[in-house]
Structure 1
Amino acid sequence: MSDTTLSPAEVAAKHGLAVSGARPGLAEYCRQLWGRRHFILSFSQAKLTAQYSQAKLGQIWQVATPLLNALVYYFIFGVLMNAKRGIPSDVYIPFLVTGIFVFTFTQNSVMAGVRAISGNLGLVRALHFPRASLPISFALQQLQQLLFSMIVLVLVVVASGTMPMASWLLMVPVLACQFVFNTGLAMIMARLGSKTPDLAQLMPFVLRTWMYASGVMFSIKVVLQGKPHWLAQVLQVNPAAVYMDLARYSMIDGYGANNLPPHVWALAAGWALLVGVAGFVYFWKAEEQYGRG
């Protein structure tokens, strides 16, 4: 049969042509992402370096910003509102700083994810690469920033009287689970934000509500005493609270296992697997739409 009797789609299929920018299969997409791993790492490092390039103190703000946030929250919640009740005085400062640093990791990953596509349209439209590289690199950037903050956290914990101990090594699986969770969430927000740029204006209010509901500044068990038991359980098993509690348990000597919800490690891994996989698939399904329209 000659090409003149075939439809354009049939001619293209006959000669092995494919739609420009068509979404590859999931396995092929993963292979392409692995091939761009050096770009993902370099892009995240470049963004981290450029983040405070215009500030006189430069990279110092990577640790100064969350630390100043912790000081403000300590004054408001620890001193004025006595939110530290139920938590020993010598434990509350590392309790608060750990919560601020860990929640900020998720918060910044979400905000970076919202703008991952909409804020990089020039790059998306000019070059061909798996678009998931962008939200992954932004989540990786936030992980690197958190690692800088961990230096301050260690100093705060030691100053409170806790010496280095073996449980600190538990931070490795905690942060690994949280990174996978954050990356999946960033990819979900990247797809949503690519079509609805106004989402970036709404998310600070959502994240602030999430922060207050996750026990960043207080013990959920103590504050909700007398309230319905199911409410405390729901708040304790939300992923932000799970990762904060595990980080506190790992780093702070006076924060015992009695403060953790049941099956906490299964919850941490489950949230990471669920959101990480679902977010990746959800983002991949719209691969050919990014940067168009």
Structure 2
Amino acid sequence: MSETTHESASPREVSPAELAALHGLSVSGARPSLTQYIRQLWGRRYFILAFSQAKLMAQYSQAKLGQLWQVFTPLLNAFVYFLIFGLLLQGRGNMENDEYIPFLVTGVFVFTFTQQSVLSGVKSISGNLGLVRALHFPRASLPISFSLQQLQQLLYSMIVLAVIVVSFGHFPRWTWLLVVPALALQLVFNVGLAMIMARLGSSTPDLVQLMPFVLRTWMYASGVMFPLRYMVEKLDGAPVWLADVLAANPAAVYMDLMRYALIDGAYHDSVPMTTWWFALGWAVVIGIGGFVYFWKAEERYGRG
């Protein structure tokens, strides 16, 4: 009589993923959904504001003049640009000092807002790895905080800018109210751009060294120190459309809106109303696009 051996079936091994799902566990640091992420950011809104204010206060804590450097730095830059582009190179076009100086100072202050948002954004993750690795919070809090820090710095500078504008005969009028929507659109654009640079900077630290050169090129191509159309017309053989392309770049757009709001005169009259549509478009595309681009890499920040 032959014996038949019956192998008892061994129990199936449960995978770690199934075991985690059985006990309601989730991956630590996993990226939440976009709606959950927005809710988390809103829940950290007081942290974001307090962090931006603390960074602002600490920025010049070692300098004897302290927070006054928030205003002195762009003013000194404007003075240098006035000597070079306003006097030596005669790049002011047909503007006299009473229009050119407010034009120049406004451009410097507004561009500095975007410039510093980008520079702080590119370092917001790579420069705060200790905080990123120690605490669990939505990482977008960092580039948002740094952009808010730059906004607060600009608001201090706006007081000095208003004094300069008035001292050259451009008194308050209804267009000054347009400063608020112009700054709001620029803030959204800056935050989105800072998030893009934060993600790139988190994986490529050398980007910090490259950005000053990129931003300096952007500044010259945006008409901070001179009216763009005037300079393009001075170039022999330059195509007509070149001025339109340069004027549509976001830095030039937000500077033109602020100049339109604060300064009256020939330059004010030359700013087309389509500039507002460009400002809105840049804010929507870069603001929303930058946020989504940053969120998609949420679980990778601080790793490795």
**Smaller-chain TM-score bracket:** over 0.9
Corresponding residue for 1:106? Answer: 114
Measured after TM superposition, the shift of residue 91 of structure 1 is: 0.1
Corresponding residue for 1:288? Answer: 299
How far apart, in 1, do the equivalents of 2:266 and 2:132 lie?
46
Correspondence for 1:242 among 239, 253, 260: 253
State how 1:254-293 maps to structure 2 within 5 Å: 254-261=265-272, 263-293=274-304
Q: 1:257 to 1:164 in 2, by over 3 A?
A: closer
Measured after TM superposition, the shift of residue 258 of structure 1 is: 3.9
CA RMSD of aligned residues (A): 1.4
Corresponding residue for 1:229? Answer: 240
Corresponding residue for 2:29? Answer: 21
Q: 1:3 to 1:43 in 2, by over 3 A?
A: farther
Measured after TM superposition, the shift of residue 255 of structure 1 is: 4.7
How far apart, in 2, do the equivalents of 1:246 and 1:255 lie?
14
TM-score, normalising length from structure 2? 0.94
Say which SS state the counterpart of residue 32 (structure 2) adopts. coil
**Counterpart of 2:195 in structure 1: which amino acid?**
M
Measured after TM superposition, the shift of residue 222 of structure 1 is: 1.1
State how 1:90-239 maps to structure 2 within 5 Å: 90-225=98-233, 227-239=238-250
**Counterpart of 2:222 in structure 1: which amino acid?**
S
Q: Runs ≥4 in structure 1, deviation > 6 angstroms?
A: none
Measured after TM superposition, the shift of residue 86 of structure 1 is: 2.4
**Counterpart of 2:66 in structure 1: which amino acid?**
G
Measured after TM superposition, the shift of residue 14 of structure 1 is: 1.7
Correspondence for 1:59 among 45, 61, 67: 67
How far apart, in 1, do the equivalents of 2:43 and 2:72 lie?
35
Say which SS state the counterpart of residue 24 (structure 2) adopts. coil
Measured after TM superposition, the shift of residue 261 of structure 1 is: 4.2
How far apart, in 2, do the equivalents of 1:204 and 1:124 lie?
25
Whether the aligned pair in 2 keeps the contact of 1:236 and 1:261 (CA below 8 Å) is no
Whether the aligned pair in 2 keeps the contact of 1:111 and 1:200 (CA below 8 Å) is yes
Whether the aligned pair in 1 keeps the contact of 2:259 and 2:268 (CA below 8 Å) is no
Any stretches of 5+ residues in structure 1 without a counterpart?
Answer: none
How far apart, in 1, do the equivalents of 2:29 and 2:190 lie?
27
Corresponding residue for 2:3? Answer: none
Say which SS state the counterpart of residue 86 (structure 1) adopts. coil
Higher Cα Rg, which structure: 2
**Counterpart of 2:26 in structure 1: which amino acid?**
A
Say which SS state the counterpart of residue 172 (structure 2) adopts. coil
How far apart, in 1, do the equivalents of 2:230 and 2:219 lie?
17
Higher mean C-alpha deviation, range 99-108 or range 12-21: 12-21
Deviation per residue, 1:227-261 (Å, 9 max, x gap)? 21111111000000000001000000125554224
Say which SS state the counterpart of residue 59 (structure 1) adopts. helix
Higher mean C-alpha deviation, range 155-164 or range 39-48: 155-164
Any stretches of 5+ residues in structure 2 without a counterpart?
Answer: 1-9
**Counterpart of 1:228 in structure 2: which amino acid?**
P
**Counterpart of 1:51 in structure 2: which amino acid?**
Q
Deviation per residue, 1:50-84 (Å, 9 max, x gap)? 00000000011011110111001101110111111
Whether the aligned pair in 2 keeps the contact of 1:213 and 1:235 (CA below 8 Å) is yes
**Counterpart of 1:106 in structure 2: which amino acid?**
T
Q: 1:193 to 1:20 in 2, by over 3 A?
A: same
How far apart, in 1, do the equivalents of 2:52 and 2:140 lie?
13
Q: 1:223 to 1:256 in 2, by over 3 A?
A: closer
How far apart, in 2, do the equivalents of 1:41 and 1:216 lie?
30
Say which SS state the counterpart of residue 94 (structure 2) adopts. coil
